[in-house]
Structure 1
Amino acid sequence: MTWRAGIFSRTAVAAVAAGALTACLPASGSEDDDKAAVPPGAKAECPAIKAPGDSPARQVRGMWIATVGGIDWPKASAKTVQRQQADFRKLLDTAKAMNLNAVFVQIRPNSDAFYPSPYEPWSQWITGTPGKDPGYDVLGFMLKEAHARNLEFHAWFNPYRISRQADLKKLAPGSPARKHPDWVRKYGKGLWYDPGLPQVRDLATKAVMDVVRKYDIDAVHFDDYFYPYPEGGADYPDQATYKTYGKGMKKADWRRQNVDVLVRGLSEKIREAKPWVQFGISPFGVWRNKSTDPAGSPTRALQSYDDQYADTRKWIKEGWVDYITPQLYWAVGDPRADYAGLVKWWADLVEGTGVQLTIGQAAYRVGENAAWRKPGELSRHLTLNRRHPAVRGDVYFSAASLAANKRGFARALFDDHYSRPAIPPAVKTGGAKGGGAKGGGRAPVPIQDLRARADGKGVRVQWRPSRDATAYAVYRVEGKKARCARVDPGSLVATVRGGGVIDPGAKPGKTYTYYVTALDRTHHESAPGRGATVTAAGG
């Protein structure tokens, strides 16, 4: 298998070491498909077989797709919609070739939108002109393409950032910042909304909930930008707001409360509107240093609690987030913040809380200095993660860095850790959030009528879909096996949407038995339906 311009070709995708099923048949969803689907409550073909449980093989494997400044997409060189869309598909194909299962896509980078919004203008990063309609629903397109590849879509919002430059007049005429300049603060080289203003929290909440209600996203995602990172020793210019709303609190405590109110309020609204939509945050990797607070980490670095007023530890303890993805952008052995010590600290923090921990990994740093020149540094991080069962996966910044495969680091990740696909862990809060058919929180009924036959492209595997399923996991074992049997995570070869796949990795003349399970949208998995045995053609 080869890398081509940093991206697996489709031919190479079909030849992954695990023999992954990659050529999907048309997804189900037509009227005929729905009539033929297995209804909820149907009798299982293998009633004695239990559904697979949780295992270390279940992982979130994601990448951030940054749109601000065209970091990952869209590129200024993409002059047409067709080229722009083709570039996005290539990024998603990179994710699938790497056996990733989630993308975190920035859709509100600067109080703007990658979708038609009643509150904010179209983002300048789509067309190059603030407020200009690109002529298509960008988010709708991205979401459809991600789900077609069975990639989770985490909609990434920046709550307070307005602009990376400081001139209000350069913003789109319809920008809320131009309409309400009293909400805006200049800090460093850019413009920010004041988090202490109720109107600002209301705008951010409306922007997020508009997307939650209108689009079939899998999660709402915030990154590490709350109050801005300190610049030049200057304090954030919110003295007037503090005087109005501080109510005798210390300024630092008041600022943290402002962020807490937004996080808690959004958590409640998302769960009320769509209980299956996750809410996750990717903060700076250090909450507090142990030298400052006995509960802190063994580090000597900026502290998000003190410098950005982000009390990540509290959000976890209170259960306001479904997952946390700290950005642990340090190498193993770094004297300021050793990756090994930090990952242990975060794993200990989430223990027993029900909050899922994934680690933000610095793909962009590969080759940056002596500590990052070894192509296996990130692979080493994932090996260390195995010591901590609370770590349930990794997310890479960013997509362009993965595609570039600098010094072969992405290939090392694939060879060492990602040669087989993975199902994300079931969202533990899904049941508490309500669940139900299509809503998440319980396993769908098993599929029925699994059929496997050899053809010129490999083995064609088809089944009757489960009506309350979102996706399916396909398992393959060598030889003729029992029609009803438990599945092993080590035999997983694909997760797909729709009612069938083609397995191009089946070796001619060999006999295989296939099993398929059904997954709800929060990754609760059914027992397998009856297996199907086939001998691949060509032997």
Structure 2
Amino acid sequence: MTLPKKIPLAKLLNRWVYPAVIVVMALALWQYPAWFGQETPKQVAVEQEELPDYGRAQRETVAREFRAAWVATVANIDWPSKPGLPVAQQQQEAIALLDKVAAANMNAVIFQVRPQADALYTSELEPWSYYLSGEQGKAPEPFYDPLAFWIEQAHQRGLELHAWVNPYRAHHTQGGPVSEHSIVNTKPELIAKLANGMYWMEPTREETIAHSLSVITDIVQRYDIDGIHYDDYFYPYPSYNDGAPFPDSESYTAYQQQGGQLGVSDWRRAAVNRFVKDIYSEVKRIKPHVKVGISPFGIWRPKYPETIAGFDQHEQLYADARLWLNEGWLDYFTPQLYWNINRVQQSYPMLLAWWQGENHQQRHLWPGLSSNKVETNQGIDEIINQILFTRALLQEQTGQVFWNVKTVSENPRFAQVLKDTVFYHQALVPASPWLDSAAPLAPEVRYQSNTDGLSVSWQPRGDEAAARWLLYYQAGSKWRYRIFNKDILSHQFRQQDEVTAIAVVAVDRNGLESERIDQQIAGR
């Protein structure tokens, strides 16, 4: 056997090894650039990928759409960013958030003021929230009232503020220690402890219903809110108690001993239904203009409609949301439709259309959207398509609520997409004529040409105060409009705006508009 001829090491390296290493490194640089601090062509393509050209809707009359976002305080999800911040920083965070919401041409925030039987406002019924100071029962120092501050700042920006309460949660696992001020300790007879560490008020107890109703009516009486809002946490989700039944067997036995005939599921649902109905009647008794909104789980029951599958809130949360909508025990209904359009068993358009079919009293149907998905182009496209579908179905009564406000406040790209496309025009909240049928009087309008352009001013007429002012102006052959806060009573147009006609419309708190009286500008 003949042995192969020996090749010198240096020659071997030069001929085979070094070229092979270079080829491997080149391949690695192309396929795995992170090893070398580079980007692949594929990665660059993804980052440079453009969204579809959605275009802009051109319109000459005011848009009507509820454009809102939830602002969660539980576990400091949205605000304040953590417990115990200085008051000045809390306020700065709130202002920055509201500025971004307003800049995106939105018109409402749903602000959580009662996350765990506590208060982000001055209350004699429940303690100051842990999420403010890091200590339940401790007031802000220096003192201020967060809810009053949020209302003032929201209204200054032309935003409605809806106070969001959690009906029955007594203590959250991320709510700090259970303090002496907590309802867990002050009213232990109402409280059930769940397997995941949360505490829950028993919804069938008379004292629970009375207490939570007192909290809500107290907020309505003392604060200039635009709405009361409550969410899907009636009974807790089964996972909160490791799938075991809610621990209210003693109360149910007492109910039966007093002659009660309902099965346990119907008994629980009856208590929730009563609470929902009582809230609506009490809010309307105190301040009819305050809207009542509910945001239940997005599916009523599996097979409604036929192809829908998923969680059964009717049997698991004891929430008969279809009944509430059928009966009109609310002013707006916000089912949490957090699924994609093409998700066959939980299809967004199929569910929204089904809920609209159940809207016998023609209340507002403003679905909740899972807008957290807008971190990607695909997610942005999904939300834009959902907004467009909702508009097609609901037309001038349309609207939606984003879960959650970080969609806009911490995602400047999506906020800009909204402003450039579907929210290009400002919008008024759709009117609620069942709350009020008397339109406000048109204001008295004056104008004057000056060296800078055209000055327009207006003064209210009649006893009913305007909540917004709607200024129409004609430039060339097209009408345009702007919406102003109630405190603004004038506007200056530039010479280059070339305005030839104007009209100012008063809009009341229920969204009803005064007569529109067009005025031609003399000499133009």
- TM-score (normalizing by structure 2): 0.81
Equivalent of residue 174 in structure 1, options 172, 181, 184:
181
Q: Tell me if the contact between 2:107 and 2:428 (Cα under 8 Å) persists in the aligned partners.
A: yes
* 1:271 pairs with one of 275, 284, 288: 284
| Per-residue deviation, residues 165-208 of structure 1 (Å, max 9, x unmatched) | 299x9233222321111211112231111101110111100000
Q: Output the CA distance in 1 between the equivalents of 2:229 and 2:336.
A: 13
1:222 shift after superposition: 0.5
* Partner Cα distance (1:78, 1:178) in 2: 23
The one-letter code matched in structure 1 to 2:271 is N
Tell me the distance in 2 between the aligned counterparts of 1:420 and 1:143: 24
How many Å separate the matches in 2 of 1:392 and 1:461? 31
Match of 1:362 in 2: 370
Aligned to 1:345: 354
Q: Give the counterpart of 1:508 among 488, 496, 500.
A: 496
Residue 144 of structure 2 aligns with which residue? 136
State whether residues 299 and 313 of structure 2, in contact with CA within 8 Å, keep that contact through their aligned partners in structure 1: yes
Say whether the 8 Å CA contact 1:58–1:425 is kept in structure 2.
yes
Distance in 1 (alpha carbons) for counterparts of 2:383 and 2:174: 37
User: Greater CA radius of gyration, 1 or 2?
Assistant: 2
Question: Aligned to 1:386, what secondary structure does the other structure show?
Answer: helix
Cα 1:342/1:501, change in 2 over 3 Å: farther
Matches of 1:328 and 1:56, distance apart in 2: 27
1:464 to 450, 455, 459: 459
Q: 1:300 aligns to what SS in structure 2?
A: coil
Cα 1:507–1:339 shift into 2, 3 Å:
farther
Q: 1:297 to 1:307 in 2, by over 3 A?
A: farther
Q: How does 1:39-438 map to 2 (within 5 A)?
A: 57-76=63-82, 79-134=85-140, 135-165=143-173, 170-187=177-194, 188-231=196-239, 232-246=242-256, 247-290=260-303, 295-296=304-305, 298-350=307-359, 352-367=360-375, 373-389=378-394, 392-405=398-411, 408-431=413-436
Deviation at 1:107, TM superposition (A): 0.5
Alignment identity in percent? 32
Q: Does structure 1 conserve the Cα–Cα contact (< 8 Å) formed by 2:457 and 2:490?
A: yes
What is the DSSP-based 3-state SS (H/G/I as helix, E as strand, rest coil) of the residue aligned with 1:122?
coil
Q: Contact 1:282/1:325 (CA < 8 Å) preserved in 2?
A: yes
Give the aligned residue type for 1:381: Q
CA RMSD of aligned residues (A): 2.9
Cα deviation digits, residues 297-340 of structure 1 (max 9, x gap): 63211121111111111011112111101111011111331112
| Secondary structure, aligned partner of 2:447 | strand
Distance across 2 between alignment mates of 1:132 and 1:474? 43
Alignment of 1:513-524 (within 5 A): 513-524=501-512
Q: Is the 8 A contact 1:460 1:500 kept in 2?
A: no
TM-score by length of 1: 0.79
SS at match of 1:476: strand
Distance 2:62 2:269 in 1: 35
Per-residue deviation, 1:18: 10
The answer as to whether partners of 1:423 and 1:495 remain within 8 angstroms in 2 is no
1:266 match: secondary structure:
helix
User: 1 CA distance for matches of 2:343 and 2:309?
Assistant: 10
Structure number with the bigger relative contact order (C-alpha 8 A, sep ≥ 6) is 1
The Cα offsets for residues 57-114 of structure 1, whole Å up to 9 and x where unpaired, read as 3111111111111111111287321221121111111121111111111011110011
> What is the CA–CA distance in structure 1 between the aligned matches of 2:202 and 2:445, rounded to whole Å?
58
- Partner SS for 1:87: helix
2:480 to 491, 494, 502: 491
Distance 1:452 1:280 in 2: 44
| Paired residues of 2:229 and 2:294 also in contact (CA < 8 A) | yes
Partner in structure 2 of residue 442 of structure 1: 438
DSSP-derived class of the 2:203 partner = coil
Kindly indicate whether the alpha-carbon contact (under 8 Å) linking 1:146 and 1:153 is maintained by their aligned counterparts in 2: yes
Query: In structure 2, what is the Cα distance between the partners aligned to 1:131 and 1:77?
Result: 13
The one-character-per-residue Cα deviations of 1:194-240 (angstroms, maximum 9, x if unpaired) are 10111011110000000111111111100111101111322111111
Instruction: Name stretches of at least 5 consecutive residues in structure 2 with no aligned partner.
Output: 1-55
Whether the 8 Å contact between 1:286 and 1:297 is mirrored in structure 2 is: no
* Contact 1:157/1:220, CA 8 A, preserved across alignment: yes
TM-aligned CA deviation for residue 495 of structure 1: 3.4
- SS, match of residue 63 in structure 2: coil
Distance 1:304 1:84 in 2: 36
Task: Specify the SS of the correspondent of 1:366.
Answer: helix
For residues 453 and 91 of structure 1, the distance between their equivalents in structure 2, rounded to whole angstroms, comes to 38
Q: Distance in 2 between matches of 1:177 and 1:460?
A: 60
Structure 1 residue identity aligned to 2:440: P
User: How far is the alpha carbon of 1:354 from its aligned partner?
Assistant: 2.5
- Name the amino acid aligned to 2:192: R
Q: Deviations over 1:263-303 (max 9, x none)?
A: 1111111111111111110111001111xxxx546321112
Q: Determine helix, strand or coil for the equivalent of 2:285.
A: helix
Residue 449 of structure 1: how far off its partner (Å): 2.7
Residue 418 of structure 2 aligns with an amino acid whose one-letter code is L
The structure that is helix-richer by fraction is 2
Distance 1:501 1:183, change over 3 A: same
Gaps of 5+ in 1: 1-16, 20-51, 432-440, 482-487
